[in-house]
């Protein structure tokens, strides 16, 4: 486990993507072959069944360290991570044992069938033979939750670099079905267990934000206008009887959206669709907050399927009969797309993203004002003779978004930033009023000039009330206007609400803390969007 422990340490000590990728590449070059599939499984959340429950582990650790329960809890609050708290709080190990990761993993799996006493015996012996860092990792292995800032995409890029394979192939391969004890690293990178020949996606064509008046774009007849939907940009691929759904983040998300699986039967082979995954009911788009309930879940409950039904709004078609048609003009691709979608037997789930008919820019500007009513975030403008570019290119596609929502809030906490801003308080928490109280509503990092940051910094230094680790409570005096894109109910936040993409839009030096918005204002806004 020594090599794995080193990897974790390297990953944790850097916040630069390149350093992390290099650490992963080095690991895959140097580690024992049998360990590697386990690492990939751990980092992609392929969790084995948890062999011992958390309450027991915690109880044993408290017992062993001879401290009262409340002191364990205090320590846990201070450390913020249960596995680490246990690793730190236990008496020092009495000897050292080096076992490879794969051995620990298979021993833990076997533990599932043992009695609690046998489990306890095994775990206590392990704790007594590991360094603090290794104990921490061992505890994480039990829980299966290894969140250390390595995204699927980052892992895939590292494996692709190490194995010299295409990253989309790797992504498909590791998202497929495999067992870490039954596959080698080379088989995994070669994608033998899945057929990676079929799954590869095209790069997405992306738009720049419109930075001029639309009148400057010229003739309206040369432009196609569509709604800009606020969901997950996706690509649906049907090749040789298999269906794949890729997200814009180049993650394979096929399993997350069973509503779309009918396309496997209804689409012809050799078709690739570009569009937006959205929460859709009766053909209407629901707010992003509904879609959010469906994201990043390993399992989907029946209730989620009915509360947050998914649909796909098609923008474009990139492949037909197995041929790449991205260089055809948009108008032609759109005609093909309409034919394909109209030919589907199942209606109201996979739909054409409607084209907005307009004759003048002023008229389109008026239509755009209605975007929020249909849960759109503005308008997309695409040249009718544009090809489907790989990536972002100026000129052919523009996004013309509506203005964000804004509220006035007061700053109540401040924390120092990192990197260039490490000596300044740059991360702020804002609150709105709820009766006599202030209630946290958003955290934001950017949006101020360096000069304003210095000014806020001086204020924080003079007006700090309390400190909790790096965080300072400050006198609620500075009023900031916060811009955001949406609002959703949230059980996780004290306010019961969460803002989407909150950022500081300006410092309202003209306002006092008693003039800020209230929680009721936000609730009303929420109700009006549902």
Partner 1 sequence: MGLLSFTNKGIYCKRGNFYIDPWYPVDYAVTTHGHADHVKWGNKNYLCHELTKPILQQRYGLEDQVQTLPYGKEIDINGVKLSLHPAGHVIGSAQIKLAFKDEITVVSGDYKIEFDGISTAFEPIKCHHFISESTFGLPIYKWETQEQIFDQMKNWIANNHHKNKTSILVAYSLGKAQRLIKNLADTHPIYVHHSIANLNESFAAAGVILPNTIRITAEIKKDELQKGIVIVPPALAEGRWIKNLINPAIGICSGWMAVRAGRRWRSADAGFALSDHADWPGLLNAIKATEAEKVYVTHGSTAVFSKYLNEIGIAAEEVKTKYGEEDDEGIEEKE
Q: Which residues bind partner 1 (CB under 8 A)?
A: 12-15, 65, 67-68, 70-71, 74-75, 78-81, 84-85, 88-89, 92, 136, 418-419, 422-423, 461, 467, 469-472
Task: Assign 215 to helix, strand or coil.
Answer: helix
Q: Per-residue b/e over 187-224, b at no fewer than 16 CB within 10 Å?
A: ebbebeebebebbbbbebbebeebeeebeebeebeebb
Place of tokens 């934001």: 444
Q: How far is the CB of 71 from partner 1 (least distance, A)?
A: 6
Nearer to partner 1, 142 or 290 (CB): 142
CA 396 to mean position of chain CA atoms: 28
Q: How far is the CB of 21 from partner 1 (least distance, A)?
A: 17
Nearer to partner 1, 238 or 472 (CB): 472
Sorted by sequence, the CB contacts under 8 Å of residue 233 that are 6+ apart come out as 204, 247, 248, 274, 275, 276, 277
Nearer to partner 1, 73 or 346 (CB): 73
Nearer to partner 1, 202 or 424 (CB): 424
Task: Please work out, in degrees rounded to the nearest 5, the angle formed at the alpha carbon of residue 291 by the alpha carbons of 288 and 292.
Answer: 85
Spatial distance between the Cα atoms of 269 and 236, rounded to a whole number of angstroms: 12
Q: How far is the CB of 11 from partner 1 (least distance, A)?
A: 10
Using CB atoms within 10 A of its CB, is residue 87 exposed (0-12), middle (13-18) or buried (19+)? buried
Nearer to partner 1, 359 or 423 (CB): 423
List alpha helices for 369-472, DSSP H: 450-463
**Active site residue ranges:** 228
Spatial distance between the Cα atoms of 190 and 196, rounded to a whole number of angstroms: 9
Q: How far is the CB of 409 from partner 1 (least distance, A)?
A: 24
Q: Looking at the DSSP assignment, which residues form a beta bridge with residue 467?
A: 472
Q: Looking at the DSSP assignment, which residues form a beta bridge with residue 277?
A: 232, 312
Q: Which helix (H) or strand (E) holds 355?
A: strand 355-356
Q: How far is the CB of 140 from partner 1 (least distance, A)?
A: 11
Q: How far is the CB of 425 from partner 1 (least distance, A)?
A: 10
Nearer to partner 1, 12 or 30 (CB): 12
């Amino acid at each position: 486990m020594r090599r794995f422990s080193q990897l974790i340490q390297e990953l944790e000590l850097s916040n630069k993507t390149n350093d992390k990728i290099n650490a992963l590449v080095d690991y895959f070059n140097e580690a024992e072959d049998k360990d590697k599939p386990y690492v990939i499984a751990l980092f992609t959340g392929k969790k084995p069944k948890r062999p011992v429950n958390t309450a027991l582990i915690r109880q044993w650790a408290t017992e062993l360290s001879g401290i009262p329960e409340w002191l364990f809890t205090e320590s846990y609050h201070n450390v913020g991570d249960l596995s680490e708290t246990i690793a730190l709080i236990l008496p020092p190990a009495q000897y050292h044992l080096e076992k490879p990761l794969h051995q620990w993993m298979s021993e833990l799996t076997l533990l599932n069938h043992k009695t609690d006493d046998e489990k306890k015996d095994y775990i206590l012996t392990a704790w007594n033979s590991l360094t603090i860092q290794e104990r921490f990792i061992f505890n994480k292995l039990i829980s299966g939750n290894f969140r250390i800032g390595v995204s699927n995409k980052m892992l895939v890029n590292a494996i692709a670099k190490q194995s010299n394979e295409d990253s989309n192939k790797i992504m498909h391969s590791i998202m497929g079905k495999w067992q870490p004890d039954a596959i080698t690293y080379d088989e995994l990178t070669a994608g033998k267990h899945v057929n990676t020949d079929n799954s590869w996606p095209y790069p997405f064509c992306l738009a720049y934000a419109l930075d001029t008046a639309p009148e400057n774009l010229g003739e309206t007849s040369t432009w196609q206008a569509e709604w800009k939907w606020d969901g997950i940009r996706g690509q649906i691929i049907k090749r040789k009887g298999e269906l794949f759904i890729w997200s814009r983040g180049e993650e394979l998300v096929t399993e997350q959206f069973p509503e779309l699986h009918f396309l496997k039967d209804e689409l012809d082979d050799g078709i690739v669709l570009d569009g937006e995954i959205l929460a859709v009911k009766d053909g209407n788009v629901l707010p992003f907050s509904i879609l959010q309930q469906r994201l990043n879940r390993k399992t989907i409950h029946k209730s989620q399927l009915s509360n947050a039904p998914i649909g796909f709004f098609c923008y474009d078609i990139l492949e037909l009969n197995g041929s790449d048609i991205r260089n055809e003009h948009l108008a032609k691709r759109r005609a093909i797309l309409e034919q394909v979608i109209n030919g589907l037997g199942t209606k109201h789930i996979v739909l054409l993203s409607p084209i907005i008919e307009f004759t003048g820019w002023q008229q389109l500007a008026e239509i755009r004002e209605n975007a929020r009513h249909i849960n759109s975030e503005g308008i997309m403008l695409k040249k009718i003779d544009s090809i489907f570019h790989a990536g972002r290119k100026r000129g052919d596609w523009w996004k013309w978004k509506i203005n964000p929502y804004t509220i006035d809030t007061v700053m109540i906490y401040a924390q120092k930033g990192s990197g260039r801003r490490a000596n300044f308080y740059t991360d702020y928490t804002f609150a709105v009023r709820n009766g006599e109280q202030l209630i946290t509503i958003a955290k934001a990092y950017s949006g101020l000039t360096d000069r304003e940051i210095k000014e806020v910094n001086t204020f924080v230094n003079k007006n700090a009330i309390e400190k909790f680790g790096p965080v300072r409570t400050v006198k609620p005096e500075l009023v900031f206007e916060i811009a955001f894109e949406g609002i959703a109910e949230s059980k996780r936040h004290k306010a019961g609400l969460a803002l989407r993409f909150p950022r500081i839009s300006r410092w309202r030096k003209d306002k006092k803390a008693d003039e800020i918005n209230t929680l009721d204002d936000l609730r009303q806004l929420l109700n009006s969007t549902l």
